[in-house]
């Protein structure tokens, strides 16, 4: 989660690309140099610096705190299989992430807000915890009373606009179902090296 009032576009420019697919992001227009008067200088990064940057890019992508991110990594490492795939799978099946990926929300920031404010239903029941994990077969939908709000009307048009194979969107019911657990190569995280995150936490 971005704290201390740091502008979102600054985070994207540090990363070198837009983390949240925002059409207003300056990186879309080619401004991929870091912000600040020394942003255009070329600095040689250490191995630790590169690992830290990739970890931060991934954490900011999902808009979660450091403690939440580290806890997710610990759980992923304890699971069977590849740690990087386990970590991303857990992050992708969060309620707020599913809301963003499906188009119910325009950004992870809005997704967190509409979940926290009780606008979404999980299998017909009110769900207000953004970090709650969805299970395969469960459905996320907009509450009937919330469907007349402006953000919900926009969501109807955006639903399924950027399709991912593990989500099934229903425009008529304004809902999205998790049909499968996401595979590592199916998750749209852009130019982020997830293995560097694994290396970072293995080192610290």
Spatial separation of the C-alpha atoms in residues 111 and 102, rounded to whole Å: 10
Element (H, E) at 60: helix 47-61
Q: Which residues contact 37 (CB under 8 A, 6 or more apart)?
A: none
Q: In which domain, by residue range, is 160 found?
A: 93-184
The answer to whether residue 27 sits within a structural domain is no
pLDDT of residue 150: 93
The answer to whether residue 180 sits within a structural domain is yes
Residue 1 lies in a domain: no
* Tokens 């697919």 -> residue: 21
Residue 110: inside a domain? yes
**Is residue 142, in this structure, part of any structural domain at all?**
yes
DSSP-derived letter for residue 93 is T
User: Three-state SS for 152?
Assistant: helix
Residue 176 within any structural domain of the chain:
yes
What pLDDT is stored for residue 172 in this prediction? 86
pLDDT at site 33:
63
- For the segment 80-94, what is each residue's pLDDT rounded down to a tens digit? 999 999 999 999 999
Low-confidence spans in the chain with pLDDT less than 70: 1-6, 8-9, 17, 20, 23, 25-43, 204
At 9-39, the pLDDT tens digits run 677 777 776 776 776 766 666 656 666 544 4
Decide: residue 44, CB within 10 A, 0-12 exposed, 13-18 middle, 19+ buried. Answer: exposed
Of 203, 169, 197, the C-alpha closest to 85 is 197
- Find the CATH number of the domain harbouring 119: 3.10.290.10
Instruction: Give me the pLDDT at residue 4, please.
Output: 47
Whether residue 51 is contained in a domain is answered as no
Which pLDDT belongs to residue 83? 94
Say what the pTM is.
0.85
How many domains are there within the chain?
1
- Among candidates 87, 92, 88, 116, which has minimal Cα distance to 102? 92
State the Cα–Cα distance between residues 33 and 27, nearest whole angstrom: 8
Query: Is residue 189 a part of any domain in this protein?
Result: no
């Amino acid at each position: 989660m971005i704290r201390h009032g740091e502008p979102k576009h600054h985070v994207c420019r540090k990363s070198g690309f837009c983390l949240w697919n925002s059409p207003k992001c300056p990186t879309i227009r080619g401004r991929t140099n870091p912000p600040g008067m020394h942003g255009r200088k070329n600095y040689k990064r250490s191995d630790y610096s590169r690992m830290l940057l990739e970890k931060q890019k991934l954490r900011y992508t999902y808009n979660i705190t450091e403690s939440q991110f580290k806890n997710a990594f610990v759980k992923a490492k304890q699971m069977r299989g590849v740690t990087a795939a386990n970590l991303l799978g857990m992050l992708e099946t969060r309620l707020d992430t599913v809301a963003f990926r499906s188009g119910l929300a325009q950004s992870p920031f809005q997704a967190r807000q509409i979940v926290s404010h009780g606008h979404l239903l999980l299998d017909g029941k009110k769900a207000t915890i953004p970090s709650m994990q969805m299970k395969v077969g469960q459905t996320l939908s907009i509450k009937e009373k919330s469907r007349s709000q402006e953000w919900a009307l926009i969501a109807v048009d955006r639903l399924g606009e950027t399709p991912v194979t593990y989500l099934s969107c229903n425009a008529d019911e304004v809902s999205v179902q998790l049909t499968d657990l996401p595979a590592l190569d199916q998750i749209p995280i852009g130019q982020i090296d997830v293995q560097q995150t694994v290396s970072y936490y293995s080192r610290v």
